[in-house]
């Protein structure tokens, strides 16, 4: 088989890239080791930046999002029972959209069935080869048979545990990582949300987040120890703890009901540099992980893909390598800003093992500053709704090396 681009992974990064390349007339094949129900069914992000909303519209995939998504012009912060609102739209002119990743994936897969790109599911042992040459290829197995795809470029969109990043030599790859000493216990329940917008809660017992997926489906999170067991958290215990942390105002609005999904997710900050080596590019979780506090994971994958698709389109249209040479530096500049925001918001709202009276007072002072300062609220709002893409710049000799 032959294709201009081989995409490893049919998650958000891989699917968005496949659609963008198809729209540009660039042939791509997506290789996914799971089946569609598995990929589509993973419970993930639910907050879309304006850049992600705009891309769905640009691809002609925004109709259902417009009907079912929830536009949020602001967000709320609660601190030991007192809550204040940040009007993101008034401060930045932008909003966010609450529309679950599962719904985004359904829209991307449905469109692919009609117009492409080509997806090969259940591809086992996907492996890129010869990425340091101008003739890379990818091999895999389906049903015991071996296959090979020759291509011009390989794009690794196969997540944190994928094979693509391991193809970059250790002497080249730099990894920056922090594993947080706590996780998020999350539940989904068919109950109306406690508020029409998100509530981020800083409480002496730990962080809480009141979110939603629709007007009738709520998504709630509690900070918990990494050694907690899901079976020790009955629904009643979860609702009691959530209401305590949200405080009397928001807690009184919580509608209780049976949860149909409950899980504990660890928090991690992770960045791999560079995001391009030879004819291999990394995008999305294959290159970076952010704590979910800032709602950046899916949106960072989208910004990577927009930059990479622009670079590949320039390569095939203008026979110019400027875009692909500058992709890593351009993408990482936005990645690190999103990592900074997620790190800052996590530190502001969570309890760490070292959080004592001094750290608690500092958190309180910063939250009070945000509550009373338009400048501080603007900084938070600008980062939350999503920073703009950086313009293309020429890579430095160090980056090219």
pLDDT digits (tens, 9 = 90+) for 174-227: 999 999 999 999 999 999 999 999 999 999 999 999 999 999 999 999 999 999
Task: Parse the chain into domains and list their residue ranges.
Answer: 5-70+97-177+268-350
Above 70 in pLDDT, residue 396?
A: no
Spatial distance between the Cα atoms of 347 and 199, rounded to a whole number of angstroms = 16
Above 70 in pLDDT, residue 118?
A: yes
Contact 308, 331 (CB under 8 A): yes
Above 70 in pLDDT, residue 395?
A: no
Active site residue 174: no
Confidence of residue 45 (pLDDT cuts 50, 70, 90): confident
Spatial distance between the Cα atoms of 251 and 392, rounded to a whole number of angstroms = 47
pLDDT at 390: 73
Active site residue 106: no
Counting every residue written for the chain, the total comes to 401
- Domain 5-70+97-177+268-350 belongs in CATH node 3.20.20.80: no
pLDDT digits (tens, 9 = 90+) for 77-117: 999 878 999 999 999 999 999 999 999 999 999 999 999 89
Beta strands in 288-387 (DSSP E): 288-289
Terminal Cα-to-Cα distance of the chain (whole angstroms): 32
* Residues in CB range of 363: below 8 A, 6 or more apart: 202, 348, 349, 355
Above 80 in pLDDT, residue 392?
A: no
Give the active site residue among 19, 203, 277, 296: 296
Give the active site residue among 180, 200, 220, 327: 200
Give the active site residue among 274, 291, 292, 395: 292
Place of tokens 């991690």: 268
Tell the burial category of 173 from Cβ atoms under 10 Å away from its Cβ (0-12, 13-18, 19+).
middle
Name the more confident of 389 and 181: 181
Give the active site residue among 72, 79, 203, 277: 72
pLDDT at 398: 54
Above 80 in pLDDT, residue 371?
A: yes
Residue 234: how many CB atoms within 10 A of its CB?
11
What is the per-residue burial (b if ≥16 Cβ within 10 Å, else e) of 196-212?
ebbbbbbbeebbbbbbb
| H helix or E strand, kind and range, residue 223 | strand 217-224
pLDDT at 397: 52
Active site residue 19: no
pLDDT digits (tens, 9 = 90+) for 327-358: 999 999 999 999 999 999 999 999 999 999 99
Give the active site residue among 99, 220, 327, 384: 384
Active site residue 369: no
Active site residue 193: no
pLDDT digits (tens, 9 = 90+) for 243-284: 999 999 999 999 999 999 999 999 999 999 999 999 999 999
| H helix or E strand, kind and range, residue 113 | helix 101-115
Question: Average pLDDT, whole number, for the chain?
Answer: 95
């Amino acid at each position: 088989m032959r294709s201009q681009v081989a995409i490893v992974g049919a998650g958000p990064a891989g699917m968005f890239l496949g659609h963008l390349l198809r729209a540009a007339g660039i042939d791509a094949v997506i290789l996914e080791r799971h089946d569609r129900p598995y990929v589509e069914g993973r419970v993930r992000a639910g907050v879309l930046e304006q850049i992600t909303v705009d891309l769905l519209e640009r691809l002609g995939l925004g109709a259902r999002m417009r009907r079912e998504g929830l536009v949020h012009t602001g967000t709320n912060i609660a601190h030991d029972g007192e809550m204040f609102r940040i009007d993101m739209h008034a401060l930045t002119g932008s909003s966010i959209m609450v529309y679950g990743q599962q719904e985004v994936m359904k829209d991307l897969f449905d469109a692919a069935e009609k117009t492409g790109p080509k997806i090969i599911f259940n591809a086992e042992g996907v492996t890129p080869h010869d990425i340091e040459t101008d003739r890379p290829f990818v091999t895999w197995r389906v049903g015991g048979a071996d296959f090979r795809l020759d291509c011009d470029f390989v794009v690794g969109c196969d997540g944190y545990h994928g094979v693509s990043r391991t193809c970059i030599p250790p002497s080249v790859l730099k990894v920056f990582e922090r594993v947080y000493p706590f996780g998020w216990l999350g539940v989904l329940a068919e109950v109306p949300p406690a508020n029409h917008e998100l509530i981020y809660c800083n409480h002496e017992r730990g962080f809480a987040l009141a979110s939603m997926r629709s007007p009738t489906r709520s998504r709630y999170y509690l900070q918990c120890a990494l050694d907690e067991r899901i079976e020790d958290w009955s629904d009643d215990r979860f609702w009691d703890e959530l209401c305590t942390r949200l405080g009397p105002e928001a807690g009184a609005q919580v509608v209780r009901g049976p949860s149909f999904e409950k899980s504990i997710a660890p928090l991690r900050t992770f960045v791999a540099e560079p995001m391009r080596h030879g004819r291999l590019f990394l995008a999305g979780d294959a290159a970076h992980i952010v704590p979910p506090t800032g709602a950046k994971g899916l949106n960072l994958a989208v910004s990577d893909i927009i930059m990479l698709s622009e670079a590949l389109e320039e390569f095939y249209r203008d026979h110019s390598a400027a875009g692909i040479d500058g992709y890593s530096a351009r993408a990482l500049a936005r990645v690190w800003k999103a990592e900074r925001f997620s790190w800052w918001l996590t530190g502001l709202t969570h309890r760490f093992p070292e959080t004592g009276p001094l750290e608690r007072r500092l958190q309180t002072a910063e939250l009070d500053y945000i509550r009373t300062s338009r400048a501080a609220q603007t900084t938070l709002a600008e980062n939350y709704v999503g920073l703009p893409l950086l313009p293309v710049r020429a890579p430095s000799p160090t980056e090219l090396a």
